[in-house]
Structure 1
Amino acid sequence: MIKDMRTPYHPNIEEITVEGILHAFSDPVRIEIYANLAASACAKNCSTFLNIQKRVLPKSTLSQHFRILREAGLVRSERKGVELINSIRWEDLKERFGPMILAIVDAYSKQQKNHSIS
């Protein structure tokens, strides 16, 4: 199978695994990106996340994080000109993985609130 380099790979719902989701969420930057996308009313480009976790990330590092989230099936990236616009794949995931994903994002949000209070 030849992949178009302009079209990002997105796994079918049957290819998405719990292990892949947990791996994607194992990095604090990726879980924060996902939580921010989930809380957003619209899709976002990578540049939105250049300043995350109180540090500036290179675009190449952000691209790598988005690739991992995308290949885990958590994010959909659509090309708009030279940018990739990212959104969560909630409709695809909610029946099969919804409670798990919601629990992880909720636990992460609570953890962040506790750290900001300390």
Structure 2
Amino acid sequence: MDDRTPHHPDVRTIPLQQVLEALVDPVRRSIVRQLREADADIACGSFDIAVSKSTATHHFRILREAGLIRQHYVGTSRMNTLRDAEFAEAFPGLLDAVVDAERNAPAAARRPARA
């Protein structure tokens, strides 16, 4: 294992509340949707999200700590994978519902709220 690879919690130990809090943010839902629709792992800088690098890093950390994504390095790129099968076992149907809702939401509802 690469020393740069962060800890990934066991999905079965994650409380539902933490998962729901991770999925409440539209940027994080977009990341989950893009990973679900991708044919391969996606590098952190390759997502279609309009946030700064530091904000994106925060969103990826929240998703990883909630057990939703797995991150690993390929060269200098931090790659992201949706932990779909593990998640379906721990929370049946949850990601299907979230991704379907995200796909069908009006564009304005998918944008983060401005402070």
Q: TM-score, normalised by structure 2?
A: 0.83
1:67 correspondence with 2:61? yes
Kindly report structure 1 stretches of 4+ aligned residues shifted beyond 4 Å. none
User: If each structure's helix is expressed as a fraction of its own residues, which one has the higher value?
Assistant: 1
1:86 aligns with 2:86: no
**Which of structures 1 and 2 has the larger relative contact order (alpha carbons within 8 angstroms, sep 6+)?**
2
- Structure 1 gaps of 5+ residues are none
| Whole-angstrom CA distance in 2 between matches of 1:97 and 1:58 | 31
Distance apart, 1:13 and its partner CA: 2.3
Pair member with larger Rg: 1
Given candidates 104, 107, 110, the residue that maps to 2:101 is 107
| Residue number in structure 2 paired with 1:8 | 6
Counting matched residue pairs gives 109
Kindly report which structure 2 residues correspond to 1:3-42, keeping only aligned pairs within 5 A, or say none. Answer: 6-42=4-40
* Percentage of pairs with the same residue: 38
1:92 offset after TM fit, Å?
1.1
Computed over aligned residues only, the root mean square deviation of the Cα atoms, in angstroms, reads 2.1
Report the Cα distance in structure 2 between the residues aligned to 1:88 and 1:15, rounded to whole angstroms: 17
Instruction: For 1:31 and 1:65, locate their aligned partners in 2 and report how far apart those are by CA, in whole Å.
Output: 10
